[in-house]
Amino acid sequence: MLAYYFYFYYYYHYYYYYYYYYYYYYYYYYYYYYYYYYYYYYYYYDYYYFYYYYHYHYH
């Protein structure tokens, strides 16, 4: 019975080890995905903003 207990004990930690591993993997994956998404979003936003700004004010 004690060996049966240790079997589920290590199986339990083995399962949750990979569970949290993939959890944080996809967490940081989507974190950097949206980070670069908004980075390029505001990059092109500033680009077109200054483009039209100088276009309408200095032409």
Distance CA 30, CA 17 (A): 20
pLDDT given at position 49: 83
Say which residues have a Cβ less than 8 Å from residue 55's Cβ, sequence separation at least 6. Answer: none
Distance CA 42, CA 11 (A): 47
pLDDT given at position 6: 74
Give pLDDT tens digits for 1-59.
Answer: 678 777 777 787 788 888 888 888 888 888 888 888 888 888 888 888 888 877 776 65
For Cα atoms 26, 10, 21, give the angle at the middle one, nearest 5 degrees: 10
pLDDT given at position 1: 66
DSSP state of 59: -
Distance CA 15, CA 56 (A): 61
pLDDT given at position 58: 66
pLDDT given at position 9: 78
